[in-house]
Homo-oligomer: A and B are copies of this chain.
Amino acid sequence: MNELVFVGLGLNDEQGISVKGLEEIKNADSVFMENYTSLMPNFNLQRFEALCGRKVQMLERHNLEDEGGKTILQAAKIGKAVFLVPGDPFIATTHVTLRIDAEKQDIQTRIVHGTSIMSAIVSLSGLHNYKFGKTVTVPFPENWSPTPYNVIAQNKQAGLHTLCLLDLKASENQFLSINNALKILLDAEEKNKKNAVTSDTVTLGVARAGSDSPTLKADFVKGLVSFDFGQPPYSLIFPGDLHFMEVEALIAFAGAPAAFRGLSR
C-alpha cells in the first residue's frame, strides 16, 4: 500500500492525538513529524515514541520547504508513510503543497484530523462560533501591517467577533504578548479612528488554549493592557454584537466585570 497519511497531533502535548491517529502510526512503514508550524508547549518526543511504540523522524522547515518533502514522498512511494503535524494538518496551509505533489505523483493521501487551536479558542470562550468573521494574525511590530486593525473594524461593523492569533517564533521562543498586541492596535486606532479598538473596547485575552490550565480574562482594553496572562501562546478575541448568553459566558469563564451585562443585545 503506497500512501501518505497526514495525522493531526492536536494540542498541547503527546496526548493531543486521536486514538485513530495513534492506530495509523502503529501500522505505518515510516513515521515523520514536524513541530515548527504550531506550538505544542508540553510535547515530549521520547514520551510520544513510548506511547506509539515507534521511532519518529523529525523534519525541519528546510526539509519541507526547500527540499519539497522529498524524504516523505519517497517513503510514501514504497509503503505507508505517516506525517505528524501539530494541531490539524491543514489549518496552517503549509502542507497543502506537499499533498498536491503527492497526488500528482499518484500517491494516495488521507487525513486524520486533529484539534485545531482556532476551534479550541472559540470553544473556550463560550462565544457563538457562527458569529465569528474573518480571523487575523497580529504580527510583531517589525512586521507591522494595517490588516489586523482593519479586519477587527470590518467584523465589528458587521456585528461579528474577531479571533486574533498573536505572532510567535516558536523556535526562538518569542511570543507577541497580549499587552503588546493591544498597544499595537491602540496605536492603529489613533491613526485610523474607526472606533474599533479603544481603551473602552470589550476584549478577551486567552493564554495556553488547549492546555490543562488556560488563562482567560475578559475586560475593557484598559483593564487588560497590564494584566499578567502567564506563559504563552496567546490570542485575543474582539467580540462584535454580544448575545446575553455570551456575556454570561464571559463573566463565568473569563472573569468579565458585571458591567458587561449592559452590553448585550
Interface positions of A (Cβ within 8 A of B): 8, 10-20, 22-23, 51, 88-93, 96-97, 99-100, 103-104, 110-111, 113-116, 118-120, 122-124, 126, 128-137, 154, 158, 160, 210, 212, 245, 248-249, 252-253
The contact of A115 among B115, B134, B158, B249, by CB within 8 Å, is B115
Q: Which residues of B contact A252 (CB under 8 A)?
A: 99-100, 103-104
Using known A-B contacts A99-B253, A160-B134, A249-B96, determine if residue A88 contacts B119 with beta carbons closer than 8 Å. Answer: yes
Q: Which residues of B contact A11 (CB under 8 A)?
A: 113
Residue of B with least CB distance to A110:
B212
Using known A-B contacts A103-B253, A118-B129, A134-B131, determine if residue A17 contacts B15 with beta carbons closer than 8 Å. Answer: no
CA of A130 to CA of B160 in the docked complex: distance in angstroms?
A: 15
CA of A131 to CA of B130 in the docked complex: distance in angstroms?
A: 15
CA of A118 to CA of B122 in the docked complex: distance in angstroms?
A: 12
- Give the copy number: 2
* Given A96-B249, A113-B210, A115-B116, 20 further pairs, Cβ under 8 A: A8-B115, A10-B113, A16-B20, A18-B115, A19-B51, A88-B120, A90-B123, A90-B124, A90-B126, A93-B129, A99-B252, A100-B249, A110-B212, A111-B123, A114-B115, A116-B116, A116-B123, A118-B129, A119-B119, A132-B134
Least distance between A148 CB and chain B CB atoms (Å): 11
* CB <8 Å contact, B134 and A133: yes
Least distance between A10 CB and chain B CB atoms (Å): 6
Q: Which residues of B contact A128 (CB under 8 A)?
A: 93
Give the top 3 A-B pairs by smallest Cβ distance, nearest first: A15-B20, A90-B123, A15-B19
Interface of A is mostly: mixed
CA of A29 to CA of B218 in the docked complex: distance in angstroms?
A: 32
Q: Can you list 7 contacts pairing A with B, beta carbon distance less than 8 Å?
A: A10-B113, A88-B115, A97-B245, A99-B126, A99-B249, A100-B248, A154-B158
Least distance between A122 CB and chain B CB atoms (Å): 7
The contact of A124 among B111, B119, B122, B129, by CB within 8 Å, is B111
CA of A116 to CA of B210 in the docked complex: distance in angstroms?
A: 14
CA of A115 to CA of B112 in the docked complex: distance in angstroms?
A: 10
Using known A-B contacts A18-B18, A104-B252, determine if residue A130 contacts B119 with beta carbons closer than 8 Å. Answer: no
Residue of B with least CB distance to A163:
B130
CA of A119 to CA of B253 in the docked complex: distance in angstroms?
A: 23
Residue of B with least CB distance to A52:
B19
Q: Which residues of B contact A113 (CB under 8 A)?
A: 10-11, 115, 119-120, 123, 210
